[in-house]
Chain A
Amino acid sequence: MKLFEYEAKQIFVRYNIPTPRGFLATTAARARDSAAQINAPVALKSQILVAGRAKAGGILFANSPSEAEQTAAKLLGKEIKGVKVQSLWIEEKIAVKRELYFSITVDRANRCYVAIASSAGGVEIEEVAATAPEKIVKTLIDPVYGFRLYHGRNIAKKLGYVGNQMNDLASIFLKHYTLAMDYDAELAEMNPLVETSDGKFVAVDTRIIIDDNALYRHPEFKSRLLEEAGMTQQELEALKSGLAYVKLEGDVGIIGNGAGLVMATLDAIQLYGGAPANFLDVGGGASADMMAAALDIVLSDPKVKVVFINILGGITRCDEVANGILEAKKRVGFTKPMVIRLVGTNEEEGRRILTEAGIHVLDSMEEAAKKTVEISKSGGA
């Protein structure tokens, strides 16, 4: 789960990592008060969870409280990358000497956490990795002994700092690691970590993504999950029904069982010239309730012209899936054409149930994908 910048900042403050003085504002008047309290030029930062908000105009600056008020009025309610701005983080604008990067994240290949630092902060770290990999310092972290102060000093040295600055940075890195572990962060990032014109270090932008599977250890964020910004209505419904759903841009609705199989189904639709409207994994079992919920969600997307249901029965039984589809049909009502591919355990029985109900069933995934694309091209008739 992604935390908002202001939530992450509050955590960094609790761990004594310097951040710019700031306040959360949901109204222009509150933005004005915040700027007055800060009593210096401020940055007004949209609290949204989409990447690239600065480039999209989500961060603006103001030199006075009245300018802050006007700027806040412009930002609040504005849509940035499809997400409405509902709050702003107003903070002191920092005089930048140099921008650094520091993060703790997961190194999947080495099955451990890794500290990533760079002297080229303020831009996406992948960009640096692609264009100037020599500017990146990676330190693998031993799962038992953890990240130590001397690791921090080594990194600071490699970024070009000595003396007090080296020690200051090392201490910030260690605190950062501690908070990342305490919060089960799959990513905790300072970008940029700014060296100010007077030689101090301040975490100007901070990002924390908590491992969803560890949310039970962080109940204060658990209730947030359902109202997480940036989710569509269908995505919220899917989450509540325990379905994995991702909205895409095309017109072919897709339902399948198993993440890999559903991804491969999307790919097959594209291979034959179609455009998938969504990813939807009903998971194992695929009961009537799950199928009904899945169809409901897929059909509520007005762009969908045809639905492709691709089920491979393993432990899941095809006759149960077939009954699930019929039950779902009764409840939801099929308003769009369907192509169903159903193979595996008890497939004869499953096929019989659907055929008797007048639903055509195919057994080759590729044939079914081709047919689905044809229907989508002919306008869903």
Chain B
Amino acid sequence: MGVFVDKATTAIVQGITGTQGSFHTRLMLDYGTQIVAGTTPGKSGTSVHGVLVYDTVEEAVKAHAANASIIFVPALFAADAAFEAFDAGLKTITIITEHIPIRDAVQVMHRARQQGAVVVGPNTPGILTVGECKLGIMPAHVFKRGVVGLASRSGTLTYEIATGLSFSGLGQSTCIGLGGDPIVGLSFVDVLKAFEKDEQTEAVALIGEIGGNFEELAAEFIATEGYSKPVAAFVAGRTAPPGRRMGHAGAIIMGKSGTAASKIEAFKKAGVKVAQKPSDVARLLAEKLGK
């Protein structure tokens, strides 16, 4: 169970021979993720932690049945890697890479829509369905199999809140890092829809931050669609000044739009419990679930 990735996910690692790609391939394999092949142009015939390396995604997919990909290649080549994965028919693409230009990201997301593919990221810690599949770089030990679907725009804050959920006994079904860039593949609305259909997920935690309007759109969706599962939210950046990027390329208040206040108000109006501090998320959901 869980959403987007599970036991049936078979993935290739694009950029597998790089420092990051190789290091995290080992950790993903340790987690039990089915990594069936890797690619690095020019390195075909070698292997990384027992995983065979190919020059192209086309060759890798021909030799090994795969349905997903995780991309570690540098920003300059990351969009190209994503297009290559779409063309090979892969349907779940996680882009760990940071610093992809907006113009390239816009094209990647357009192609993903055409192909019916899901893009996690870019600039994401990845996605993990607890106990089944990890396509990402998050520390596995903070997660515990359970009932909360978690979607977040940041990395360490996700680990902070996931730790709280694990400690409280609620645990998680799937944890998704949407990514810290202005243009990312999944929105909170997309993940809410997916979690709605997932039997394992009993409640949803949304971890937002300043910039953009994914939180406002999620609140509107919850209010108008009559969402069936309890939702709690945390929004980082109440103290952020306008016009400054707070670490993430996408965490910026433009003029008066994208403020934490606007997002918190939208959530409250939609009946979503808003946590004042990260540790409140687990408490609010436990109350709602009567656990």
Decide if A126 is an interface residue (CB 8 Å cutoff): yes
**Given A261-B154, A263-B154, A264-B278, 5 further pairs, Cβ under 8 A:** A144-B110, A260-B158, A260-B180, A263-B157, A264-B277
**Segment 204-241 of B: residues with Cβ below 8 Å from A:** 207, 209-214, 217, 234, 236-241
Do B101 and A214 touch (CB < 8 A)?
Answer: yes
Sample 5 A-B pairs with CB under 8 A, ordered by A number. A186-B102, A260-B207, A281-B247, A314-B142, A345-B139
Q: Judging by beta carbons under 8 Å apart, are B212 and A109 in contact?
A: yes
Interface of A (DSSP majority class): mixed
A259 in contact (CB, < 8 A): yes
Least Cβ distance of A277 to chain B in Å?
Answer: 11
Across the interface, which residues of A come within 8 angstroms of B278, CB to CB? Answer: 264, 365
| Contact indicator A271/B277 (Cβ below 8 Å) | yes
Task: Tell whether A73 is near chain B: CB-to-CB under 8 Å.
Answer: no
Kindly specify which of B39-47, B52-60, B168-176, B251-259 makes contact with the partner chain. B251-259
Give the secondary structure class of B's interface. Answer: loop
Question: Which residues from A are CB-within-8-Å of B182?
Answer: 106, 108, 186
Q: How distant is the Cα of A186 from the Cα of B182 in the complex, in angstroms?
A: 10
**B83 is an interface residue with CB less than 8 A from chain A:** no
What's the Cα separation between A248 and B137 when bound, in Å? 31
Residues of B at under 8 Å CB distance from A? 75-76, 99-103, 105-107, 109-110, 137-139, 141-142, 152-160, 163, 180, 182-185, 187, 207, 209-214, 217, 234, 236-241, 243-251, 255-257, 260, 276-279
Q: Are B247 and A279 in contact (CB under 8 A)?
A: yes
Q: Roughly how many angstroms separate A214 CA and B107 CA in the complex, as a whole number? A: 14
Residues of A within 8 A of B251 (CB): 259-260, 263
Q: Are B102 and A258 in contact (CB under 8 A)?
A: no
Tell whether A172 is near chain B: CB-to-CB under 8 Å. no
What distance in Å separates the Cβ of B99 from its nearest Cβ neighbour in chain A? 5
A315 to B20, CA, bound (A): 11
Q: B180 is contacted by which of A184, A214, A259, A313 (Cβ under 8 Å)?
A: A259
Residues in chain A near residue B106, CB distance under 8 A = 106, 111-113, 143
* Contact (Cβ within 8 A) A263 B279: no
Say whether A306 faces chain B, with CB atoms less than 8 Å apart: no
Please name the residue on chain B nearest to A312 by beta carbon. B156
Within 8 A of B (CB), among A88-121: 106, 108-109, 111-113
User: CB-nearest residue of chain B relative to A126?
Assistant: B255
Q: How far is the CB of B66 from chain A (nearest CB, A)?
A: 25
Q: Which of A184, A258, A263 contacts B240 (CB 8 A)?
A: A263
Which residues does chain B contribute within 8 Å of A270, judged by CB atoms? 238-239
Write out, one digit per residue, whether chain A residues 134-147 have a CB within 8 A of any chain B CB (1) or not (0).
Answer: 00000000111000
> In the complex where A106-B102, A109-B213, A366-B279 touch, is A244 in contact with B236 (Cβ < 8 A)?
no
- Tell me the nearest residue of chain A to B256, going by C-beta: A126
In the assembly, what is the distance between CA of A191 and CA of B187, in Å?
31
CB nearest to B234 among chain A residues: A264
A267 on the B face (CB < 8 A): yes
Closest CB of chain B to A262's CB: distance in Å? 6
Tell me which residues across on chain A come within 8 A of B157, comparing CB atoms.
258, 260-261, 263-264
Task: Kindly state the interface size class of chain A when it binds its partner.
Answer: 35 or more
Known: A124-B255, A186-B182. A109 touches B101 (CB 8 A): no
Residues of the A chain whose Cβ atoms lie less than 8 Å from the Cβ of B184: 111
Also in contact, A108 and B110, with CB within 8 A (given A184-B103, A246-B244, A260-B156)? no
B-facing mask of A242-286, CB < 8 A → 1, else 0?
A: 001010100000001111111110111111000010010100000
Q: With A109-B213, A126-B256, A264-B277 in contact, is A312–B244 under 8 Å at CB?
A: no
Once the chains bind, are B187 and A143 in contact (CB under 8 Å)? no
Q: CA A315 – CA B134 in complex, angstroms?
A: 14
Complexed CA–CA distance, A250 and B18 (Å): 42
Q: How far is the CA of A312 from the CA of B256 in the complex (A)?
A: 31
Report the separation of the CA atoms of residues A250 and B141 in the bound assembly, to the nearest whole angstrom.
36
A41: min CB distance to chain B, Å: 31
Contact A312 B101, CB 8 Å, known A108-B212, A267-B238? no
Query: Which residues in chain A, 206-262, are within 8 Å of chain B measured between CB atoms?
Result: 211-214, 216-217, 244, 246, 248, 256-262
Contacts A212-B249, A248-B239, A314-B142 hold; do A109 and B102 have CB atoms under 8 A apart?
no
Beta-carbon nearest neighbor of A280 in chain B: B247
A84 to B1 Cα, complex, angstroms = 59
Does any Cβ of B come within 8 Å of A181's Cβ? yes
Q: Residues of A contacting B187 with CB < 8 Å? A: 109
Residue picked from B137, B156, B240, most chain A C-beta under 10 Å: B156
Contacts A111-B183, A279-B240 given; does A263 touch B210 at CB 8 Å: yes
- Distance in Å from the Cβ of A258 to the closest Cβ of chain B? 3
Chain B's nearest CB lies how many Å from the CB of A370? 11
Contact indicator per residue, chain A 303-338, by CB within 8 Å of chain B (1) or not (0)? 000000000111100000000000000000000000
Whose C-beta in chain B lies nearest to the C-beta of A275? B239
How far apart are B71's CB and chain A's nearest CB, in angstroms?
A: 16
A344 at interface (Cβ–Cβ under 8 A)? yes
**B243 proximity list for chain A (CB < 8 A):** 51
For residue B138, give the distance in angstroms from its CB to the closest CB of chain A: 6
Contact B103–A260 (Cβ < 8 Å): no
- B74, chain A: closest CB distance, angstroms: 11
CB distance from A282 to the nearest CB of B (A): 10
Does A259 contact B154, Cβ atoms closer than 8 Å? yes
> B247's contact among A126, A211, A262, A314, by CB below 8 Å, is which?
A262
- Chain B residues, Cβ within 8 Å of A125: 255
Are B109 and A111 neighbours in the complex by a CB distance under 8 Å? Answer: yes
Question: Binary interface profile of A, 343-380, with partner B (CB < 8 Å = 1, else 0)?
Answer: 11100000000000000000011100000000000000
In the bound complex, what is the Cα–Cα distance between A343 and B160 (angstroms)?
9
Chain B min CB distance to A223 (Å):
18
Q: Give the residue of B160, B241, B248 whose beta carbon is less than 8 angstroms from that of A259.
A: B248
A357 to nearest B CB, angstroms?
24
Closest 10 CB pairs of A and B: A260-B154, A259-B247, A258-B156, A260-B157, A214-B101, A314-B139, A263-B236, A261-B156, A143-B110, A281-B247
